[in-house]
Amino acid sequence: MTSLSRRAFSKLMAAATLARQARAGVMPVRTLGKIGFKAGILGFGAQYLAGTAQANVDRVIAEGLEAGMNYVDIAPNYGNSEDLLGNALRGKRDKVFLATKIEEPTREGALTEVRNSLRRLQTNHLDCVLFHNIARDERWTDIDKLLAKGGALEGLVEARKQGMIRHIGCSTHTNPARVIRAFDTGEIDLMQAILNFVDHQIYHLEERLLPEACKRNMAIVAMKVLGGPSGETGGCRISAEDRVASMRYVWGIPGVAVSIIGFRKPAELREGLDAALGYQPLSAAELAALEQRGKAIAEKWGPSRGPVT
pLDDT range class, residue 263, cuts 50, 70, 90: confident
In this predicted model, what pLDDT tens digit does every residue of 52-65 receive, in sequence order? 999 999 999 999 99
C-alpha 7/C-alpha 163 separation (Å) is: 36
- Please give the pLDDT value at position 228: 66
In this predicted model, what pLDDT tens digit does every residue of 180-212 receive, in sequence order? 999 999 999 999 999 999 999 999 999 999 999
- Please give the pLDDT value at position 94: 96
- Please give the pLDDT value at position 235: 52
C-alpha 179/C-alpha 185 separation (Å) is: 11
Helix axes 240-251, 266-277, angle to 10 degrees: 50
Residues above pLDDT 70, as percent of the chain: 89
C-alpha 151/C-alpha 155 separation (Å) is: 7
In this predicted model, what pLDDT tens digit does every residue of 104-161 receive, in sequence order? 999 999 999 999 999 999 999 999 999 999 999 999 999 999 999 999 999 999 999 9
pLDDT at residue 240 greater than cutoff 80: no
Class of domain 27-300: alpha beta
In this predicted model, what pLDDT tens digit does every residue of 267-295 receive, in sequence order? 889 999 999 999 999 999 999 999 999 99
Q: Which residues contact 297 (CB under 8 A, 6 or more apart)?
A: 198, 236, 238
Which sequence spans correspond to the domains of the chain?
A: 27-300
- Please give the pLDDT value at position 3: 42
Q: Pick 9 or 266 by higher pLDDT.
A: 266
Alpha-helical segments (H) within the chain? 3-23, 54-67, 81-88, 107-121, 143-147, 152-161, 176-183, 200-203, 205-208, 210-215, 240-251, 266-277, 284-301
Average pLDDT, the chain: 90
| Helix, coil or strand: residue 251 | helix
Helix axes 81-88, 107-121, angle to 10 degrees: 50
pLDDT at residue 14 greater than cutoff 70: no
